[in-house]
Each structure stands twice: as structure tokens, then as C-alpha cells.
């Protein structure tokens, strides 16, 4: 599999032990289990953005990121769901892109605020 040069965003979930899962993804040396483990073996890790919630947002978030991404890797990380991908690419650092910041704000803050108001 060949990956374009750029920034990659992977959407995953951890029903428990989120901190341990994120620490695991930072490590290069580990037993490979998930699709992302294979990618991590040959790329640089820049960070993780956690969205702590009791709601199951993984697939909704993957769809939203897919809508703003420059490309996706079909079938990556979504062998157990109907999503087209859970790995997306962007030419520019997404942390500098207003469309990504807006998406993050929605999933981390605005959704919660809307639920509290209802």
C-alpha cells in the first residue's frame, strides 16, 4: 500500500482505558493488532485529539472528517463497520485549517451543549 505525502487522521474508539490506547498508538514497538499499528510503524506521530463521551461517535466522526479531508484510504480501519474509511489524509496540517477546527469544536463542545439544552 502506498500513502501520499501529507497529514493523516485516524478515527478510532476506546470503550475503556482511553489513555492506555493512546499511549499504545504512540509506541512504534508493539505487537500489531489494528490497521493503524501497521501505519504507525512507518510514520511520524504528531498527536491525538480525544473526544470523551458516552455516545458512540466513531462512525459519525469518521463521516464528518471524510467530508472535509482531501483523500481517504478506502477500507482502512473499518473492517467491522459500514464506513468507507477511518483513515483520512490532508495536504496541510489540519490543526491550521478552519474547517477542521470547526469540526472539532462541534464534536467536542457544540454537540454537548445542544444535548444539555434539550
Q: What is the 3-state secondary structure (H, E, C) of 71-90?
A: EECCCCCCCCCCCCCCEEEE
Residue partners of 83: CB distance under 8 A and separation at least 6: 59, 62, 63, 66
Q: Is residue 3 part of a domain?
A: no
Q: How many CA atoms lie within 13 A of 62 on its CB side?
A: 21
Residue 55 lies in a domain: yes
For the chain, the domain total comes to 1
Does 1 fall in a domain? no
Render pLDDT for 26-39 as a digit per residue (tens, 0 to 9): 776 768 776 677 77
DSSP 8-state class, residue 9 = E
Asked, for residue 27, whether it belongs to a domain, the answer is yes
pLDDT digits (tens, 9 = 90+) for 59-118: 999 999 999 999 999 988 888 889 999 999 999 999 999 999 999 999 988 887 767 776
97 in a structural domain:
yes
* DSSP code, position 28: S
What are the cell numbers at 32? 500489531
Residue 37 included in any domain: yes
Amino acid at each position: 500500500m502506498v500513502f501520499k505525502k501529507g497529514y493523516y487522521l485516524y478515527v478510532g474508539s476506546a470503550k475503556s482505558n482511553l489513555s492506555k490506547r493512546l499511549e499504545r498508538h504512540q509506541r512504534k514497538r508493539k505487537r500489531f493488532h489494528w490497521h493503524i499499528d501497521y501505519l504507525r510503524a512507518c510514520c511520524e506521530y504528531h498527536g491525538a485529539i480525544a473526544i470523551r463521551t458516552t455516545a458512540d461517535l466513531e462512525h459519525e466522526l469518521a463521516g464528518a472528517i471524510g467530508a472535509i479531508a482531501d483523500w481517504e484510504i478506502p477500507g482502512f480501519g473499518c473492517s467491522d463497520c459500514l464506513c468507507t474509511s477511518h483513515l483520512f489524509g490532508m495536504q496541510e496540517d489540519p490543526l491550521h485549517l478552519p474547517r477542521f477546527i470547526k469540526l472539532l469544536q462541534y464534536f467536542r463542545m457544540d454537540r454537548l451543549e445542544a444535548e444539555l439544552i434539550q
